[in-house]
Structure 1
Amino acid sequence: MITDLHATLHKNFGFREFRPQQEEIIKRILSGKDTVVLMPTGGGKSLCYQLPALVFEGLCIVISPLIALMKDQVENLRSNGIQAAYLNSSLRQDEEKEIRQLLMQKSIKLLYLAPEKIFSPGFLQFLHALDVKLFAVDEAHCISNWGHQFRPEYSQLDILKTEFPETPIVALTATADNAVRSDISDKLNLTNPRTFISSFDRPNLSLSVLPGIKKWEQLVTILERNKLQAGIIYCISRKSTEQLSEKLKKRGFRAEAYHAGLPAEKRHKIQMGFQNDRVQIICATIAFGMGIDKPNIRFVVHYNMPANLESFYQEMGRAGRDGLPAETILFYSYRDVQVQMKFIEDIENRSYKKIRIEKLKRIKEYADAQVCRRKILLSYFNEYLSADCGNCDVCENPPTYLDGSKLAQVALSAIHRVKENATLTVLIDIVRGTRSRDVVQNNFHQIKTFGAGSQISVFAWQLYIQQFIQQGYIAVDYKDHSRLKLTPLSKKVLFEGETVRVVNFDTIKERQEKMRKKPVNVQSFNGDVDEELFDRLKTLRNKIASELGKPAFFVFSNAALKDMSMRKPTNKNSFLEVNGVGEFKAEKFGERFIKLVSDYMNSSNKSEVDLFS
């Protein structure tokens, strides 16, 4: 099979060069060998099977669990003139019948399926009647019991190798630890697979963790900094997505809740609104995979801590897929850990429970970190940075320390005097001298240390006690209603005078002020980009998308428009040089964009700078 892969890449996708590892992966797939691909969100996983599908004579079947993502990817392929379709529960019977007819006529190159479709009556028999040349299993981590998004229907996909032993399989995921990687190969019964692992580093994403106290005030500051920018806020429940989106609307933000409990029609409407920038902010459930392919998301906020680093990495990875700066923010509190531990306590399988606890510990390490967060995050995926990243909150504002020994003695003494019968909230009431109901009912207001830390704010005590827990001076008994207990290290502070260092922290007001002064994540232009032309190109792109009733990326991505504003193409040949412009799009949209550029150049009386000769 002799094919000029670079020519195919440019003709169909408009790119002149492959991203790292893509070409090697594609060549292996084209040689008919099973392959596992671990590549971060925005790293170009989809191209690894989409391009082989165009080279193969027959059909490529893509297994995907996300209906929204299926639709986006099919739209994207069709926008490049590639014959693609999907079959899932969102289609009417007559629509499915039409697609089946096109498949029998060999008029489709890529078919996206929900995994359960494979096992519907008679469907395997139907697949045997087609010329299937490749199976691509997307979101392959769903096959593992130990994965963060296990789906039972994925565990039955070993039938693909049984029914089609000669057809190569490529399994793709954006996040998987070693155990999950092994599961992917084993459960799909892959034959001598080779695993390709790309760097998980996304240097354009800034990483920050904020205290989960007065979250609303901090969130508003973040959003006001990112006015008119697109973003996602992840919440822990459907109800909280709806409550938060309503609060945001009242504050003047174009926000919508998005979760699995909404009718399909409403989800689709919200999704299209987000794609076309009519909706600015999506409030989504942590567990619900949105699958929205929107390159210009400038911020992702986790309003609640996820259960593990895999989920966190995958969700934060939806920011900045266009390669431009974006920020990721995690709100973190002791309460989040309590909630996650409550979920874990309900798990009956002891092995699974142990793994969940270990995964929770790792995301706690990330949230608690006083060293480069990117180092901690990447080390989880067995990737190690030799230097600090310079683009996380710890690197930008290295911690300073103070002697917290007296504070620790007050807290530990109070725990001892109430016979280890206080939660974090009650302990803070005791040391601050607050006569809350729990304090009075248990006579805690009569102990010697009642009010001994009254000059310290609730916010400060929460952060200090959290640090005492991190350092092992206090333990949390999650089985005993999260009451605080003393540890062997507690005695060293209480009776041996051990020094306790704690991180000095900014107050909420100080944090908000720093957040306001932080540079806004807007389009990052270099000196060669004509910002005025870029804005005009974007307006035209959005107008065409609206005329077609399609998302904006269906026409051109922001990255393509950025390159267009640099190159200033005034004829078809120079238009085809734009990164992201293939032959199909040049034929379909070229005339209007070339005219706009030409008119702009003439009206501005500007001569084109020949940067690319």
Structure 2
Amino acid sequence: MPHSSNISAALFDGEQPKDPRAILKQVYGYDAFRGKQAAVIERVVAGGDAVVLFPTGAGKSLCFQIPALAREGVGIVVSPLIALMRDQVEALKQLGVRAAALNSSLSPEEYSEVRRSIADGTLDLLYVTPERITTAGFKELIRSTKIALFAIDEAHCVSQWGHDFRPEYRELGHLAEMYPGVPRLALTATADPHTREDIIDKLALRSAEVFTTSFDRPNIAYEIVECDQPRQQLLRFLSRHKGSSGIVYCLSRAKVEETAEWLNGQDIRALAYHAGMDRSVRDTNQDAFLKEEDLCLVATVAFGMGIDKPNVRYVAHLDLPGSVEAYYQETGRAGRDGLPSDVWMAYGMADVIQRGRMIDGGQSSEDIKRVERAKLNALLAICETPGCRRQSILAHFGEAHPGACGNCDTCLKPVETWDGSEAAIKALAAIYRTGERFGTGHLIDVLLGNENEKTSRFGHVEMPVFGAGKDLPSKTWQSVYRQLLAAGLVTVDHEAFGALKLGPEARAVFRREREVRFRKDRPTSAKASRGASSSGANARSSLEGADMELFEALRQTRLEIAKGLAVPPYVVFPDTTLVAFATQRPTSPDELLGISGVGQSKLERYGEDFLEVIRAHTR
């Protein structure tokens, strides 16, 4: 099927695939591939299958977009979210690529137009949902169409062990038998070793080449704090990001709406997003987040999978996510453009207990629940580690890191530790002596010798352990129990209303066969200070004087163009390209074309608008 229009037509040469590097430069405006992109693209252009495990921001989409342009036929991309399809299709159109989506949001006229394009062979890329691709109607629609490839994005959704399981993804394993000889790619940014094996197995990709790269996001600064007036802690964090876009995640819909309302009362423009909102309001708020430059979106995890906005400068969590994978994916929405970005989280024992109740109250099998509990404990261990956060996160994905990253709170402000063996014995003894029937609050009352109705009624005031912990304050005992839980020395019985029970390793502590060291919680006064480096927290921080003025003028021009096109500003040019404009100051079309991120289509569409601004500030 020959290509027949604009850039796509110019790039396709008869029956032979076009050089991917020529496509990279002419369409996308980049001079070289990053990391293992070239190896993946070479494999797929040659007709091979691939499993691509790259972190967010590593350029996974190019791994299927460029082969789709280089090979004959249309590339079919399976995407789980309609909003994601819409954004990617619009971005491709701005590049001069013939792209379309087929989903339930289309009007009858739009649907007919996409069908005609498929029949006429005038599409380079077609985005569809996993529910649609295996239907008889879709198979009939593409029956006579030459298919360049199948790309399965967000492939971790195929795995029950993953954090975004979508049963309909399981059907995608049949693509191999339905379309023999068509190369297939599975791509994801979040998959532990178990989930990776599930992706390969369930999608019938045993013969695929697996491409992995480091999951490290060195531009992201990690900070995790213990809950202590979390709203005020959040406000201090957000004060460092005025003028930037970001996301605040909450666990419940009610908390999302309350937090958004409170932030607006603090002169921080915030919108809410959760699955229980009216669809039109939710879509309007998401659209505002994508298109505006200074907006805080307060959301549940219903928001974000596949969001392409590259200049999200911060992500904050007011509640603990359910796993390291969820935390990594949600925080990974910051800094997709590679510029410095911050992620922050406040957590406490109440988060752990609430998450545990959600797991135990779910409909999953006991095997799945056991895995979910282990994943939650792995995240808690990262929260409680005195060592490098980045090292602990990467270890979860099977990647070694030497630590001392210099861009997390525990590296920049090393955490003190203390010999907690005696404290651990007292804490465990309180659990044992009270019959493993009580939660943290009551156990701390026992240790501190607080005589009240409950400790008296159960006879705990008569026990030797009563008052044995008066040497430490209540907040320290809360930290002790969190860290015992993270270490697996205690467990939570959610059916018994959060009662703590002894773990299998507790006996070794009682016998003094295992030393226990605890991290010291930071004093309250330190919690207001910066844990991780905020230098370069947004694109503008590296600019000064005249360069800063030009950058802001370019941002305003970008915003005006984007509004006229009804697209997010980053679709016009990302911040990284505007920074290059401001510092390198190109004054001719050829010089502009030499800037990374400027391709032929964008040069022709609005290059002159930006050149006028640059020239005006260069005279």
1:218 aligns to 2:230 (yes or no): no
TM-score if structure 1 supplies the norm length?
Answer: 0.91
Q: CA deviation at 1:566?
A: 2.3
Q: Which amino acid aligns with 2:100?
A: A
Which blocks of at least 5 consecutive residues in structure 2 are unaligned? 1-15
The aligned counterpart of 1:299 is 314
Q: In 2, Cα distance between the equivalents of 1:145 and 1:405? A: 39
Rate the CA distance shift 1:286–1:444 in 2: closer, same or farther, 3 A. Answer: farther
Could you tell me which residue of structure 2 aligns to residue 464 of structure 1?
480
**Offset at residue 494 of structure 1 (A):** 7.1
Residue of structure 1 equivalent to 2:597: 580
Residue 545 of structure 1 aligns to which amino acid in structure 2?
A
Query: C-alpha offsets along residues 146-174 of structure 1, whole Å, 9 cap, x if unaligned?
Result: 22211111101123222211211111111
Q: 1:460 to 1:51 in 2, by over 3 A?
A: same
Describe the SS at the equivalent of 1:165. Answer: coil
Aligned pair partner of 1:169 in 184, 190, 196: 184
After alignment, is 272-281 or 103-112 more displaced? Answer: 272-281
Identity %: 39
The equivalent of 1:313 in structure 2 is 328
Residues 260 and 496 of structure 1: CA distance in aligned 2, closer, same or farther (over 3 Å): closer
- Measured after TM superposition, the shift of residue 399 of structure 1 is 1.9
- The aligned residue for residue 398 of structure 2 is 382
Cα distance in 2 for partners of 1:584, 1:280 equals 29
TM-score by length of 2: 0.90
Deviation at 1:511, TM superposition (A): 1.1
Which residue number in structure 2 is paired with residue 357 of structure 1? 373
Following superposition, the deviation at residue 70 of structure 1 comes to 0.9
> 2:78 aligned with 1:63, yes or no?
yes
Q: Which residue in the other structure is 2:7 paired with?
A: none
Match of 1:122, SS state, is helix
Once structures 1 and 2 are overlaid, which stretch shifts more, 6-15 or 119-128?
Answer: 119-128
8 Å CA contact retained: 2:172, 2:203: yes
Q: Say whether the 8 Å CA contact 1:296–1:321 is kept in structure 2.
A: yes
Q: Which residue of 2 aligns with 1:91?
A: 106
Residues 254-281 of structure 1, C-alpha deviations (whole Å, 9 max, x = no match): 1112122223322221122112226611
Residue 277 of structure 1 corresponds to which residue in structure 2? 292
For 2:404, the aligned partner's letter is D
Counterpart residue identity of residue 76, structure 2: I
Aligned to 1:53: 68
**1:198-347 correspondence runs (5 A):** 198-277=213-292, 280-286=295-301, 288-346=303-361, 347=363
Cα distance in 2 for residues equivalent to 1:143 and 1:499: 42
Query: Is structure 2 residue 593 aligned with structure 1 residue 598?
Result: no
- 1:568 corresponds to: 585
Measure the CA separation in 2 of the matches of 1:562 and 1:249. Answer: 30
User: Which range moved further: 533-542 or 476-485?
Assistant: 476-485
The answer to whether the 8 A contact 1:213-1:459 is kept is: no
3-state DSSP of counterpart to 1:128: coil
For 2:344, what is the secondary structure of its paired residue? strand
Give the Cα separation in 1 of the matches to 2:443 and 2:583.
60
Moved more, 530-539 or 444-453: 444-453
Please point out which of 407, 422, 437 is paired with 1:391.
407
User: One-letter code of the match for 1:536?
Assistant: A
Choose from 9, 32, 40 the match for 2:47. 32
Aligned to 1:108: 123
1:471 Cα offset (Å): 5.2
Change (3 A) 1:496 1:234: closer
- Quick one: structure 1 residues 509 and 136, their matched pair in 2 at CA, closer, same or farther if it must change by over 3 Å? same
Give the letter aligned to residue 600 of structure 2. Answer: E
After superposition, what is the alpha-carbon deviation per residue over 1:456-507, rounded to whole angstroms, capped at 9, x for unaligned? 5543331133234445665544443332345687678778799754332222
Counterpart position of 2:434? 418
**Partner SS for 2:52:** strand
CA distance in 2, matches of 1:402, 1:580: 51
One of 122, 144, 163 as aligned partner of 2:137:
122
Output the CA distance in 2 between the equivalents of 1:496 and 1:6. 63
SS at match of 1:319: coil
Secondary structure in structure 2 of the residue aligned to 1:199: coil
1:515, distance to aligned residue in structure 2 (A): 5.3
Q: Select the residue among 88, 92, 105 that pairs with 1:77.
A: 92
Kept in 2, the 8 Å contact 1:222–1:515? The answer is: no
Cα distance between partner residues in 2 of 1:472 and 1:172: 33
Note if contact 1:408-1:468 (Cα within 8 Å) is conserved in structure 2.
Answer: yes
Q: Which residue of 2 aligns with 1:368?
A: 384
Structure 2: distance between partners of 1:388 and 1:396: 9
Corresponding residue for residue 546 of structure 1: 563
| Residues 1:75 and 1:357: Cα distance change in structure 2 (over 3 Å) | same
Name the stretch that deviates more: 118-127 or 216-225: 118-127
**Stretch deviating more after TM superposition (51-60 or 1-10):** 1-10
Count of residues in Structure 1 that have an aligned counterpart in Structure 2: 602
Matched residue, 1:43: 58
Structure 1: distance between partners of 2:427 and 2:101: 59
Residues 215-251 of structure 1, C-alpha deviations (whole Å, 9 max, x = no match) = 2221111112222221111222222222221221222
Answer whether contact 1:298 1:325 (CA < 8 A) is retained. Answer: yes
Q: Do the aligned partners of residues 472 and 550 (structure 1) sit closer, same or farther apart at CA in structure 2, a change above 3 Å counting?
A: closer
**Matches of 1:154 and 1:52, distance apart in 2:** 23
User: Structure 1 CA distance, aligned partners of 2:608 and 2:515?
Assistant: 73
Distance in 2, matches of 1:545 and 1:575, equals 19
1:392-541 correspondence runs (5 A): 392-404=408-420, 407-408=423-424, 411-412=427-428, 414-432=430-448, 438-439=454-455, 441-442=457-458, 444=460, 457-470=473-486, 474-486=490-502, 501-514=517-530, 519=535, 521-523=537-539, 524-525=541-542, 530-541=547-558
Q: Aligned residue for 2:3? A: none
Q: CA deviation at 1:370?
A: 1.5
Give the match's secondary structure for 1:157: helix
Distance 1:465 1:252 in 2: 37
Instruction: Evaluate the alpha carbon distance shift between residue 393 and residue 158 of structure 1 in structure 2; reply closer, same or farther with a 3 A threshold.
Output: same
Corresponding residue number in structure 2 for 1:607: none
> C-alpha distance in 2, partners of 1:487/1:52?
52
* Among candidates 165, 168, 180, match of residue 153 of structure 1: 168
Aligned to 2:197: 182
Helix, strand or coil for the counterpart of 2:308? coil
Distance 1:412 1:283 in 2: 39
Q: Which amino acid aligns with 1:76?
A: A
CA distance in structure 1 between the aligned counterparts of 2:424 and 2:216, rounded to whole angstroms: 38
Q: Provide the rounded CA distance (Å) in 2 between the counterparts of 1:178 and 1:486.
A: 29
Q: Tell me if the contact between 1:38 and 1:173 (Cα under 8 Å) persists in the aligned partners.
A: yes
> Cα distance, 1:213 vs. partner?
3.9
TM-superposed deviation, 1:143: 1.2
Structure 1 residues 403 and 28: alpha-carbon distance in aligned structure 2, compared to 1, 3 A threshold: closer
RMSD, matched Cα: 2.8
Deviation at 1:126, TM superposition (A): 0.6
Aligned residue identity for 1:147: G
Between the aligned partners of 2:366 and 2:274, the Cα distance in structure 1 is: 30
Deviations 1:503-527 (A, max 9, x none): 3222223211345995471324278
Deviating more after overlay: 77-86 vs 173-182: 173-182
Distance 1:500 1:357 in 2: 23
Residue of structure 2 aligned with 1:589, choices 606, 609, 614: 606
Inter-CA distance 271–529: structure 2 relative to 1 (3 Å threshold): farther
* Secondary structure at the counterpart of residue 77 of structure 2: strand
Q: Which amino acid aligns with 1:50?
A: Q
